[in-house]
């Protein structure tokens, strides 16, 4: 019997995906549950598993091709058996018929098989397009994984290397503009936008077109939080097994401020305002495949240690491309930290249907006036972008002032956060 391989349900509101790669090829024998191919959606990557054992009879859709839920990708012939191999007995001359898979298992147990090269999906796609052997690329990613930047660096340093897109550009332009072809040789590379990058572009533009986005700023003295972390970080790490970062302080501060100013924890649905009395805080992470915003659920009920564990796990998953849809769906408010990249100030774009986002920035030593004296303090610019359709300027400014108060006196987070 032939069973079709179809694009499975990918989650609410997710209707399309892009084929990243086929793990199995035509003629391969697969067992039920084996990963056959990988898909990329606007939110997360998916592994499509075999629903039955058999031989992969056909592959109908190619890598980098866009597909929709329910599309047929290929087929499995469940009546076909694993390929066999006749193995002679060296002692008595008899023969034994064994499935080749069994022989592979035996080899694995008695011979050292080189471990599979770890690489992110984006890195694998670029390597395939440019015919790059990943074993020659120096990995710098978490878990000794090859990243997109590693492949690009290898491509740039390889002598005499030209990309497929450059060859195509050169062949076209050489007929019309020979001198331009020579000028731009080895200076450009054309890569198709990933589905996630396309989705990010679309959603950010939609946010600008539909919401009335304004941004207000304030400056926060980080002395108290920094000193508290210095005093407690070793004890915290020993007790909870995770570092005490700034994120947990700001998550707790946001929860405290959102309780005081509920408009920033709401959303607009048609002509109604939906107020939410739960606090699911999204934390923006700049992953290799593009920006992702995993959500810390019920942040008001979590301890500092639980929040730090969530943030650490999300960061690891974002690098591995293993974030699930459930971890990315929803969220009532978002925090983004451009300071980790050195940003001094920015105007973040809200994440619809949310109506507020807090932007954190680099911490710099600055002279300020404190109690009538000029002192040097670690200062951070904080930005709140908000949807003016539902949030007035007064509430936005007061919300950010509340964040400032809670961070500058972090002990109050135990009471108000």
From the list 66, 102, 326, 392, the catalytic residue is 392
392 given a catalytic annotation: yes
Q: Torsions phi, psi of 95, nearest 5?
A: -120, 160
End-to-end alpha carbon distance in the chain: 59
Q: Tokens 């809670």 belong to which residue?
A: 406
Comparing C-alpha atoms, which of 261, 237, 193 is closest to residue 42?
193
Place of tokens 């210095």: 230
- Can you tell me whether residue 417 is helix, strand or coil? coil
Cis amide leading into 166 (omega within 30): no
Give me 204's structure tokens. 């950010």
* Residue 309 is among the residues annotated as catalytic for this protein: no
Q: Can you count the helices (H) and strands (E) in the chain?
A: 12, 21
Classify the C-alpha dihedral 222-255-216-214 as positive or negative: positive
3-state helix vs strand vs coil in the chain, percent to 5: 35, 30, 35
The structure tokens 């459930």 sit at 326
Q: Which residues are catalytic?
A: 388, 392
């Amino acid at each position: 019997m032939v069973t079709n391989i179809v694009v499975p349900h990918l989650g609410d509101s997710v209707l399309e995906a892009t084929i990243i790669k086929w793990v199995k090829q035509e003629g391969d024998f697969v067992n039920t549950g084996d990963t056959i191919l990988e898909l990329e959606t606007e939110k997360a990557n998916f592994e499509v598993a075999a629903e039955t054992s058999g031989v992969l009879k056909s592959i109908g859709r190619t890598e980098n091709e866009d597909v929709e839920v329910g599309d047929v990708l290929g087929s499995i012939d469940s009546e076909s058996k694993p390929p066999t191999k006749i193995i002679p007995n060296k002692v008595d001359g008899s023969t034994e018929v064994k499935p080749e898979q069994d022989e592979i298992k035996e080899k694995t147990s008695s011979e050292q098989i080189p471990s599979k090269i770890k690489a992110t999906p984006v890195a694998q796609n670029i390597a395939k397009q440019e015919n790059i052997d990943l074993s020659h690329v120096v990995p710098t990613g978490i878990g000794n994984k090859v990243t997109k930047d590693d492949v690009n660096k290898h491509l740039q340093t390889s002598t005499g290397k030209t990309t497929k897109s450059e060859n195509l550009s050169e062949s076209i332009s050489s007929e019309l503009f020979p001198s331009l072809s020579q000028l731009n040789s080895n200076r450009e590379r054309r890569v198709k936008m990933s589905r996630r990058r396309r989705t990010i572009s679309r959603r950010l533009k939609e946010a600008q077109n539909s919401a009335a986005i304004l941004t207000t700023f304030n400056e926060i003295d980080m002395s108290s939080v920094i000193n508290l972390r210095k005093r407690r970080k070793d004890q915290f790490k020993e007790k909870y097994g995770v570092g005490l970062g700034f994120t947990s302080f700001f998550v707790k501060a946001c929860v405290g401020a959102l309780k005081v100013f509920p408009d920033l924890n709401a959303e607009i649905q048609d002509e109604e305002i939906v107020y939410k009395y739960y606090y699911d805080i999204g934390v923006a992470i700049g992953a290799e495949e593009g920006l992702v915003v995993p959500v810390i659920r019920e942040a008001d009920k979590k301890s500092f240690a639980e929040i730090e564990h969530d943030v650490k796990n999300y960061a690891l998953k974002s690098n591995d491309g293993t974030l699930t849809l459930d971890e990315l769906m929803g969220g009532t408010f978002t925090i983004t930290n451009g300071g980790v990249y050195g940003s001094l100030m920015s105007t973040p774009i809200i994440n619809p249907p949310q109506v507020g986002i807090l932007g954190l920035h680099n911490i710099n030593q600055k002279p300020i006036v404190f109690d009538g004296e000029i002192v040097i303090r670690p200062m951070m610019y904080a930005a709140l972008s908000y949807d003016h359709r539902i949030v007035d300027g007064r509430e936005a400014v007061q919300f950010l002032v509340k964040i400032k108060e809670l961070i500058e006196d972090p002990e109050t987070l135990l009471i108000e956060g």
